[in-house]
Chain A
Amino acid sequence: MNANDRKILVVGGGMSGLTAALEAAESGAQVIIAEKEPYLGGRVAQLHRYFPKLCPPTCGLEINFRRIRENPNITFYTMAEVTQVSGSAGNFDVTVTVRPRYVNDRCVACDACAQACPAWRSNDFNYGLDKTKAIYLPYDMAFPQKYVIDASACQEDCGQKCAEACQYDAIDLNMQPQTLNFQVGSIILAGGWDLYDISKVDYLGFGTVKNVITNMQMERLAASNGPTGGKILRPSDNQPPKKVAFVQCAGSRDENHLPYCSYICCMASLKQATYLREQDPEAEIYIFYIDLRTPGRYEQFMWKVRDDEGVKLIRGKVAKVEQEPGTDNVTVTAEDTLGGGKIKMTFDMVVLAVGMVPSTKAKPFPLPLSYTPEGFIIPELLPEGIVAVGTLKNPLDVMKSNEDATGAALKSLISLSRR
């Protein structure tokens, strides 16, 4: 036995990673979290509300952050990526590279630096719907509450205005990448998912047709801390859309793109229909779907939305999304698989229910693991001591990812105790 026997590395600080880390730490293990973004919380932090109870996800995150604050067994690193792994169960040797934040622990989040900064960057937290300064807090509830500099957005000739404005010596423009080494007994992979690059599905018009947005952009538009302060406005003219279409299976269930079902998109669109209906009782919503997939008890949520007279569920595969000539409106053409023939309708805005891609698709873990062609980890083939969680294995919703993460914490504890 050595000290590493009770140590676990969790790769990814989103909801699954946090859950796995907390469950293990609250059972007595020493846990290190490595998160690649400058904040914890992952995709969940970007959601306006969860289905089916329609509560804000920051509420659940707040509890988890409190659990982290109160738990001496957890250490976390943001902007951190695992770059090398060697060894085996019980004795992994892990190298973690921490990108420079250019802001140190003295930061008090007073915002003086951002006010002084002259440079702007596209806001990735809001999926490019607005801009932040080159020095910024990722979002208002960010944990840790610490600013960060996007060096690629810096104006080199600005005369270090941020450093000048900071009264707390918190800015260190010479900060270098850091390399950390850890010995751990087991590793939990919780890298989560990315949104499929939907511009690859050219007939859906994303990036070329005005007022075609993704479901994750819709989450940001509806969020009080989003680019529009929670008012859902269409991008071209900042007007509230009256008539909105949701296109299901955007990328998913498509041999040319994602051959699998992304699990969450049906519930997500039904949920987003409620955002629009709540904002504008006159709004008309059309959801074009192949099969409505609301498994288990989610069925009742579907019934509730279906029974809203402002929401129309149309069984039809969307074939084309185009700009209506001469306007900013969007025309959707769908095959009516039930009635036969074609449906052609024009909308103020179109939301693409874009599917999920495991983060390991773009960036495999630095250890030879077995993946499906779509980048999902095949859990049966993982080496001893390594556990994968949630959407790295299969598309899942938050609730089931959490259940999975809780189980993963146990699996990883078992792999420690067997040694």
Chain B
Amino acid sequence: MAIEERKYGAYLCKGCGIGAALNFEELAKVIRKDGKIQHIREHDVLCSPEGLAMIQEDLKPEGEGINCLLIAACSPRTKYQEFDFPNVLVERVNLRELVAWTQEPNHPETQALAEDYCRMGAARIKKADLPEPYQTECDKTILVVGGGVTGLTAALEAANNGYQVVLVEKEAQLGGYAAKLYKATPSSYPYTSLQDPPVHALIAEVQAHPLIRVLTNTTIVQSEGEPGLLDVTVNTNGTEETIRIGSVVLATGFRPYDATKLSHLGYGLSPDVVTNFEFEELAKKGKIVRPSDGKAPESVAFIQCAGSRDPEHLPYCSDFCCLTSLKQALYVRQSNPEATAMILYKDIRTPGQTELFYKEVQSDPGVMLTKAEVTGVELAPGAKLRVKAKDTLLGANVAFEADMVVLATGLVPTTLDDPILNLTYRQGPGLPETENVRQPMTIPLAMEDARGAAMKAIQALEHVAAGVAVHPRAWDETFPDPFMQRCTQCKRCTEECPFGAIDEDEKGTPYFKINRCRRCGTCMGACPERIINFNDFSVDIIGSMLKSLDVPEIEDEDDPEAPFRFIGLVCENDAYPALDAAGWHRLRLNPYIRFIPLRCLGSFNLVWVSDALSRGIDGMILLACKSGEDYQCHFAKGSELAEYRLSKLSETLDKLGLEADRVQLVTVQISDFDRLPKILDDFVARVREIGPNPFKEF
């Protein structure tokens, strides 16, 4: 909603030491002259009911009718309720944490810093506007892919909340692997007895639910569009159909690791070496018998981590196998009370209260457990199998004979070798929509996860319908609004968007799928034409802030207090709170740097460097989140892209005769308040060594 007739007011707070640190008359002059805001008021404690009443009075249409408020007080992260005025544009200038609490009171540089923050605040509020949500038509049908226990749960939860659901399963039957179980491990207190698998009741409920359409024998041919407007083509027994979908829960689950790769553990050596999945089928048929001769085994050895926790096979723990072997040991015992089961493990992993089940099985004298590194399985006389192991609780090198060997085989996500959704559109490095094919897990956890996934799918729809972003900016009604006439089809935005929200049409023109957009502003940073902008966050807004600074001449560049000027572009979620925390701890921050928070460093546009340097600003420091494998960027790629852009910049700066060190990126975590003073001082010292910006005099 654009503000029609703008009326600006600046409100300065003298509380919390701000008043004692600054000359307010001079500050007001700057706001009037450079900020071009004439209505200025001061208060001793602006956030107090009295101070707020003063502002409220000015907002009245019959009075001053102010509708654009510059509030120069504390950090925007505090007193947020106090300074929230509906339908009014509010710009907070942080004179407390960034000035009064971190600078020497009444020093000329402290005053200069506060004045610059007011200039930047005024420049920003002049260009920003209130958001107008982007709303499209939005289908609220949820597609659940996968009819296993996870998909069934997700479908049921979404439908129980009133949403239409289409459940797609590639097999003829619902239930997935869970339906093939003989029994399930206990999932509730006292965790001692085996349960009937929960999946059969789920299947019945899903099939009877009026809001769920079940499509078995069905695969997905292609998916196109964006959340709220997805067109998904499915193939059911050779017949294709296109369905309009709002959002997707991917719950295709897992498949067992290929046991033929486990010949080192005897798979293939004898029909009596089976996987845990095969053993489950044997149990489900009734009495457990050896596949080779149909005799009931007297002894069964379980080899844990068959494939799992093995860099040659699966570099993770499959989570369910310890509990499953404990359960299957009970099958052996219940099928034949004379039989014994032996479990050979690396570590027994029965987390949480499932430990109680482990103890229960341990207390059965017919179940033996030992830590062991299995070194091989071979045939032994008497139609037996011999399992050789080292490092066991029973000795360094031992061999056990058994009638049967069960390999506790791990899991592989179905997404490993099958794209499942067959998306026609570009996918970013981020995940498509909701996804729970992320890690191995047991049935109870998978069911909890399924509810969470259903919730996210519902939210995605509701937020699309309301024109609001999804996590992590789930309140944000702004959106990127590119000025396409000036697009050069360079494709940087489409390639750099971490969420695959920008596609290209046949001609190669970018096409924004706003419903996939997370509003990080990475496209805005990528665009060399500077045509991608948000209502309250744009290349021009930040550029205007940079250009609003007062850049004094340097008379003596060797003077350690010469008024160099720097810009700090900082992540608003991490580096900015760290600066605030430095304020609360009353640390001294370098007075020559002016900080500007960005939604994400991914929105860093190189034009700001030339804007700043051409104005005579001596350098720029970017405080970004960690990138790389263990990245900490909430938008996955933002800080990495900022680094990448910066690397391209160095050459350009060199060509201009400017030193690359003038623009630096430093990784900062939100907890790094204590590191900030040195980081900033070191940066400033380095640029002082280089000397002032030669463009200053122009």
Give the B-binding residues of A (Cβ under 8 A). Answer: 22-23, 26-28, 48, 52-56, 58-59, 62-63, 66-67, 69-71, 106, 108-111, 137, 140-141, 145, 167-169, 223-225, 229-230, 253, 259-263, 291-300, 303, 315, 337-338, 372, 376, 378-380, 394-396, 400, 402-411, 413-414, 417-418
Q: Are B48 and A53 in contact (CB under 8 A)?
A: no
A402 to B456, CA, bound (A): 12
Contact among A22, A58, A303, A402 with B577 in the assembled complex (CB-CB below 8 Å): A58
Contact among B16, B45, B455, B577 with A406 in the assembled complex (CB-CB below 8 Å): B455
Contacts of B670 in A (CB 8 A): 56, 58-59, 62, 141
Q: Report the minimal beta-carbon distance from A148 to chain B, rounded to whole angstroms.
A: 15
A406 to B454, CA, bound (A): 9
Q: Mark B581-611, 1 if CB is under 8 A from A, else 0.
A: 1001100000000000000000000000000
A145 to B675, CA, bound (A): 22
Contacts of B189 in A (CB 8 A): 372, 376, 378
Q: Report the minimal beta-carbon distance from B455 to chain A, rounded to whole angstroms.
A: 4
Within 8 Å of chain A (Cβ to Cβ): is B80? Answer: yes
Within 8 Å of chain A (Cβ to Cβ): is B452? Answer: yes
A230 to B190, CA, bound (A): 42
Q: Are A411 and B353 in contact (CB under 8 A)?
A: no
Q: Report the minimal beta-carbon distance from A64 to chain B, rounded to whole angstroms.
A: 9
B residues 442-471 with Cβ under 8 Å of A?
445, 448-452, 454-456, 458-459, 462-463, 471
Nearest-CB residue, chain A, relative to B675: A224
Contacts of A63 in B (CB 8 A): 472, 573, 634
Q: Are B573 and A62 in contact (CB under 8 A)?
A: yes
B residues 24-83 with Cβ under 8 Å of A?
45, 47-49, 74, 77-81
Q: For chain B, what secondary structure do more than half of its interface residues adopt (helix, strand, loop), or is it mixed?
A: loop
Q: Are B577 and A141 in contact (CB under 8 A)?
A: yes
B residues 333-391 with Cβ under 8 Å of A?
347-356, 359, 371, 391
Q: Report the minimal beta-carbon distance from B695 to chain A, rounded to whole angstroms.
A: 37
A307 to B399, CA, bound (A): 29
Q: Mark B308-343, 1 if CB is under 8 A from A, else 0.
A: 110100011111000000000000000000000000
Q: Are A56 and B74 in contact (CB under 8 A)?
A: no
Give the A-binding residues of B (Cβ under 8 A). Answer: 15-17, 45, 47-49, 74, 77-81, 157, 160-162, 188-190, 308-309, 311, 315-319, 347-356, 359, 371, 391, 393, 439-441, 445, 448-452, 454-456, 458-459, 462-463, 471-472, 474-475, 573-574, 577, 581, 584-585, 625-626, 630-632, 634, 669-675
Nearest-CB residue, chain B, relative to A407: B451
A63 to B458, CA, bound (A): 21
Contact of A59 with B574 at beta-carbon distance under 8 Å, contacts A23-B455, A26-B474 already known: yes
The A/B interface has a contact count, at CB < 8 Å, of: 210
Q: Report the minimal beta-carbon distance from A61 to chain B, rounded to whole angstroms.
A: 9
Q: Are B157 and A261 in contact (CB under 8 A)?
A: no
Contact among B48, B190, B352, B632 with A168 in the assembled complex (CB-CB below 8 Å): B48
Contact of A410 with B452 at beta-carbon distance under 8 Å, contacts A53-B632, A62-B670, A372-B189 already known: yes
Q: Report the minimal beta-carbon distance from B559 to chain A, rounded to whole angstroms.
A: 33
Contacts of B675 in A (CB 8 A): 224
Contacts of B448 in A (CB 8 A): 400, 403-404, 407
A59 to B571, CA, bound (A): 11
Contact of A296 with B393 at beta-carbon distance under 8 Å, contacts A63-B634, A259-B356, A409-B455 already known: no
Q: Report the minimal beta-carbon distance from A44 to chain B, rounded to whole angstroms.
A: 13
Q: Are A296 and B669 in contact (CB under 8 A)?
A: no
Q: Are B458 and A253 in contact (CB under 8 A)?
A: no
Contacts of A263 in B (CB 8 A): 351-352
Known: A56-B669, A259-B359, A395-B351; 7 extra A-B contacts, CB below 8 A, are: A52-B630, A53-B630, A55-B626, A297-B440, A299-B317, A380-B188, A403-B449
Contacts of A140 in B (CB 8 A): 581, 584-585, 673
Contacts of A293 in B (CB 8 A): 347, 349, 351
Contacts of B574 in A (CB 8 A): 59, 62
